[in-house]
Amino acid sequence: MIDKECQMAGEFYIFARRHGKRVFEAFAHPENRPAALNGEREATMPSKINPKNAAAPAAAAVRELVEFMWKQFPGHFDGAYSKVLVGPETPGARFLDFRISSYEPKAYVKSHAHESKEQIYYFLEGEGLLELGSKKHVVRPKSFAFIPPRLPHALYNTGVANLVFFVITTSTDNRPNPK
Model confidence pLDDT, tens digit, residues 64-111: 999 999 999 999 999 999 999 999 887 778 889 999 999 999 999 999
Would the CA dihedral through 114, 77, 132, 165 be positive or negative?
Answer: positive
User: Over the stretch 36-73, which tens digit does the pLDDT of each residue have?
Assistant: 444 444 344 444 444 444 455 567 888 999 999 999 99
Q: Would you state the pLDDT for residue 56?
A: 55
Compute CA distances 39 → 35, 65, 108, 153, whole Å. Answer: 9, 48, 56, 48
Q: What is the pTM of this model?
A: 0.68
HEC secondary structure over the chain: CEEEEEEECCEEEEEEEECCEEEEEEECCHHHCCHHHCCCCCCCCCCCCCCCCCCCCCCCCCCCHHHCCCECCCCEECCEEEEEEECCCCCCCCCEEEEEEEECCCCEEEEECCCCEEEEEEEEECCEEEEECCEEEEECCCCEEEECCCCCEEEECCCCCCEEEEEEEEECCCCCCCC
Quote the CA–CA distance of 177 and 19 in Å, as a whole number. 38
Q: Is the pLDDT of residue 20 over 70?
A: no
Q: How far apart are CA 26 and CA 49, in angstroms?
A: 7
pLDDT value at 135 more than 90: yes
- Which listed CATH number (1.10.645.10, 1.10.287.610, 1.10.3720.10, 2.60.120.10) goes with 65-171? 2.60.120.10
Cβ neighbours, 10 Å, residue 101? 24
- Decide if 39 contacts 46 (C-beta within 8 A): no
